[in-house]
Structure 1
């Protein structure tokens, strides 16, 4: 599937091949895999100022994404991508800047469990937005899988929900879910627009905002090494995978695959930091994992393949 910009107006494409959707699903899964390392990496960082962490994480993500695009498209091609992303790209940039910033800040106000529970609603929000705004059909199996995933994540975090509730923290967690769902729908809808520069711009916006709020920028060499991994592997590589893969599959399916992030996150913390997950976490994770596997198996064998919605893009230079 070509990753080049389309003309101003594009009609519905022929049915997507099963191969294209498998590649898209794999890339979105890899993005969730990269993002799932976030909690594990953050545990190694000693810096106490959340804004300093957001700043360096975003700076390293920008450096990686710029280098990736320069390697793939050349200097002139990269500049052309930024010029051609238009309003859809700007909207996606704002969504990712909001989500990545709110995630780090929300951790200072509420529990990880509450944030994960909010993120479990991303597939439902994405499916709802895509249906309301663009009438993108959502299969019954996808709706069922979304419901089971939300139930499974609720079981995973249920033991922590009795803690202190922060309206600010939980409000930020809700903003994260809305921002991720919106970015997923826009990326799918405007599939003729390459969103890698948009994710890069989003990380740059987050760095600028965090830089204005941070009390200091100096960190230890050890922290800088982990911040490099936090920005390049966790954020930058995850954004690159997502921006490429989410264009190739329905918005609800892309958001559903993103649920692997809260599913895998506790596993890495357990393996690396020795934090043994609770029984409810294991049971809920098993529910989520089974729902995702069954749904993916059904999607890959379903015929005919779904058609991509018509796209009305923004004016882009050749």
Structure 2
């Protein structure tokens, strides 16, 4: 539980770190952040599994691992670009609904059973996201920022469903490959790679501490706790992220972002609470307990 919480804490600093970086070319930021994260993850896997073990992990990922890697590459790249067009709160609060969007996607693709409470929570998440996105539709904020924030939530939902369906896929090598893909694409788009020592220090923290260490904490801890607890602890990222940016950079989210984000986070917390209650309910005599797809 501590490791999963620490992963959410590391990830929550992403927007705050990004606001300190003076580089104007987003692709340069994506390249260096991805490069530092990939280097750290490769070093970690080599230390933990050995070079042969690490190569075996990459080989064993298969198509599901490649799909997760592409999803992560899209999400991590979109996060950097979105920061130039919208607030940190908008991006992170939309991501809070990923577990419920994943449940909706699993029902659409695989007809996994969805409870009535989950349907209500999904409806609330869609309503909350609609409230946040409505500002871009009215021309108040850039539709590019909100569009990318919504894309991040969608690809994370896809990655979540894939990981659940193919439980043998190891998250660490898949996300490492995602950082490599993101860095390679950014290298083809960046106007320059030279950055100041100040910005390079921030990019190191951005890639290694915020992204790499957060992934290691989550990959290590999430396997040891129930999924509902991991999801609950994960909500600290969208809750704490906007707070850090507000305290450090005085970036105040709009009223619609606060209202829509509150709807999303509340729906998720209520859903997780009901899931805890359902899992804690003792089985009736003579009834075989089957694992729920939710």
Match of 1:7 in 2: none
Structure 2 CA distance for partners of 1:239 and 1:40, relative to 1, 3 Å:
same
Q: Which residue in the other structure is 1:90 paired with? A: 66
Matches of 2:242 and 2:144, distance apart in 1: 24
Aligned counterparts, 1:157-172, within 5 A: 162-164=138-140, 166=142, 168-172=144-148
Structure-1 separation of matches of 2:143 and 2:263 = 29
Which residue of the partner structure matches residue 23 of structure 2? 47
What residue in structure 1 maps to residue 118 of structure 2?
142
Deviation of 1:235 after TM superposition, in Å, equals 1.7
CA RMSD of aligned residues (A): 3.5
CA shift in 2, pair 1:284/1:128, >3 Å: closer
Match of 1:301 in 2: 277
2:154 is matched with 178
What are the within-5 Å matches in structure 2 for residues 1-318 of structure 1? 30-109=6-85, 112=88, 115-116=91-92, 118-119=94-95, 122-151=98-127, 162-164=138-140, 166=142, 168-243=144-219, 245=222, 258-275=234-251, 288-303=264-279, 307=291
Higher helix proportion: 2
- Cα deviation code 1:140-177 (max 9, x no counterpart): 33333344455556667877875456555444334322
Tell me, what secondary structure is at the counterpart of 1:136?
coil
Cα deviation, residue 281, structure 1: 5.7
Give the number of aligned pairs. 284
Q: What's the TM-score once normalised by structure 2's chain length?
A: 0.79
Name whichever of 193-202 and 256-265 sits farther off.
Answer: 256-265
Please state how far the C-alpha of 1:87 moved relative to its aligned partner.
Answer: 0.9
The answer to whether the 8 Å contact 1:191/1:248 transfers is no
Q: TM-score, normalised by structure 1?
A: 0.74
